[in-house]
Amino acid sequence: MSTPLFTLGQVVATPACLRVLAAAGVSPLELLEKHIQGEWGDLGPQDYAANQRALTDGSRLLSAYSLGNGERVWIITEAQDDRGVRQSTCLLLPGEY
Protein backbone atom coordinates (compact mmCIF):
# COMPACT_ATOMS: atom_id res chain seq x y z
CA MET A 1 0.00 0.00 0.00
CA SER A 2 1.24 3.51 -0.83
CA THR A 3 1.38 6.38 1.61
CA PRO A 4 -2.16 7.67 2.33
CA LEU A 5 -3.01 11.10 0.91
CA PHE A 6 -4.81 12.14 4.12
CA THR A 7 -5.85 10.83 7.52
CA LEU A 8 -9.28 9.31 8.13
CA GLY A 9 -9.87 10.27 11.76
CA GLN A 10 -12.40 8.07 13.53
CA VAL A 11 -13.98 5.66 11.04
CA VAL A 12 -17.67 4.84 11.37
CA ALA A 13 -20.24 3.14 9.17
CA THR A 14 -24.00 2.98 9.20
CA PRO A 15 -25.58 -0.42 9.87
CA ALA A 16 -27.37 -0.33 6.50
CA CYS A 17 -24.10 0.32 4.69
CA LEU A 18 -22.41 -2.58 6.47
CA ARG A 19 -25.29 -4.87 5.47
CA VAL A 20 -25.05 -3.80 1.81
CA LEU A 21 -21.28 -4.30 1.79
CA ALA A 22 -21.60 -7.75 3.36
CA ALA A 23 -24.29 -8.77 0.87
CA ALA A 24 -22.01 -7.68 -2.00
CA GLY A 25 -19.00 -9.46 -0.50
CA VAL A 26 -17.03 -6.20 -0.27
CA SER A 27 -14.83 -5.35 2.70
CA PRO A 28 -15.16 -1.83 4.12
CA LEU A 29 -11.36 -1.81 4.42
CA GLU A 30 -11.02 -2.39 0.67
CA LEU A 31 -13.02 0.75 -0.06
CA LEU A 32 -11.27 2.78 2.66
CA GLU A 33 -7.91 1.89 1.12
CA LYS A 34 -9.08 3.17 -2.27
CA HIS A 35 -10.46 6.33 -0.63
CA ILE A 36 -7.18 7.27 1.13
CA GLN A 37 -5.23 6.62 -2.08
CA GLY A 38 -7.36 9.09 -4.06
CA GLU A 39 -9.26 6.45 -6.03
CA TRP A 40 -12.53 8.34 -5.69
CA GLY A 41 -14.70 5.81 -7.50
CA ASP A 42 -17.70 6.90 -9.56
CA LEU A 43 -17.55 10.68 -9.34
CA GLY A 44 -18.32 13.30 -11.92
CA PRO A 45 -15.67 15.82 -12.95
CA GLN A 46 -16.83 18.49 -10.49
CA ASP A 47 -16.70 16.18 -7.46
CA TYR A 48 -13.35 14.79 -8.60
CA ALA A 49 -11.95 18.32 -8.90
CA ALA A 50 -13.38 19.24 -5.47
CA ASN A 51 -11.56 16.27 -3.94
CA GLN A 52 -8.30 17.26 -5.60
CA ARG A 53 -8.69 20.78 -4.10
CA ALA A 54 -9.60 19.28 -0.70
CA LEU A 55 -6.25 17.53 -0.55
CA THR A 56 -4.62 20.96 -0.31
CA ASP A 57 -7.29 23.14 1.32
CA GLY A 58 -8.52 20.61 3.90
CA SER A 59 -12.18 20.57 2.90
CA ARG A 60 -14.48 17.52 2.81
CA LEU A 61 -13.61 14.48 0.69
CA LEU A 62 -16.18 12.25 -1.01
CA SER A 63 -15.82 8.89 -2.72
CA ALA A 64 -18.65 6.95 -4.36
CA TYR A 65 -18.37 3.27 -5.22
CA SER A 66 -20.76 1.11 -7.22
CA LEU A 67 -20.96 -2.47 -5.97
CA GLY A 68 -21.50 -5.56 -8.06
CA ASN A 69 -25.05 -5.92 -6.73
CA GLY A 70 -26.13 -2.51 -8.10
CA GLU A 71 -25.88 -0.71 -4.75
CA ARG A 72 -23.75 2.39 -4.17
CA VAL A 73 -21.70 3.33 -1.13
CA TRP A 74 -20.35 6.74 -0.23
CA ILE A 75 -17.34 7.48 1.94
CA ILE A 76 -17.15 10.99 3.37
CA THR A 77 -14.14 12.30 5.26
CA GLU A 78 -14.99 15.49 7.09
CA ALA A 79 -13.06 18.73 6.66
CA GLN A 80 -9.99 19.49 8.71
CA ASP A 81 -10.40 21.38 11.95
CA ASP A 82 -8.36 24.47 12.89
CA ARG A 83 -5.40 22.22 13.72
CA GLY A 84 -5.44 20.48 10.32
CA VAL A 85 -6.91 17.25 11.67
CA ARG A 86 -9.67 15.31 9.95
CA GLN A 87 -11.99 14.15 12.71
CA SER A 88 -13.96 11.38 11.05
CA THR A 89 -14.79 9.30 8.02
CA CYS A 90 -18.20 7.71 7.46
CA LEU A 91 -19.26 4.88 5.15
CA LEU A 92 -22.93 5.27 4.26
CA LEU A 93 -25.53 4.80 1.59
CA PRO A 94 -26.39 7.85 -0.53
CA GLY A 95 -29.96 7.88 0.81
CA GLU A 96 -28.63 8.22 4.35
CA TYR A 97 -26.84 11.53 3.71
Over residues 23-49, the mean pLDDT reads: 97
Residue burial 70-92, b: 16+ Cβ < 10 Å; e: rest = ebebbbbbbebeeeeebeebbbb
Burial 22-38 (b: 16+ CB within 10 A, else e): eebebebeebbeebbeb
68 domain-assigned: yes
> Rounded mean pLDDT of the chain?
95
* Total domains, the chain: 1
Which tens digits make up the pLDDT trace of 53-74?
999 999 999 999 999 999 999 9
Domain coverage including residue 88: 10-96
Q: Is the pLDDT of residue 82 over 90?
A: no
Percent of the chain residues past pLDDT 70, beyond the cut? 99
How far is residue 62's CA from residue 49's CA, in Å, rounded to a whole number? 11
pLDDT at 1: 57
Instruction: Provide the 10 A C-beta neighbour count for residue 10.
Output: 10
Amino acid at 68: G
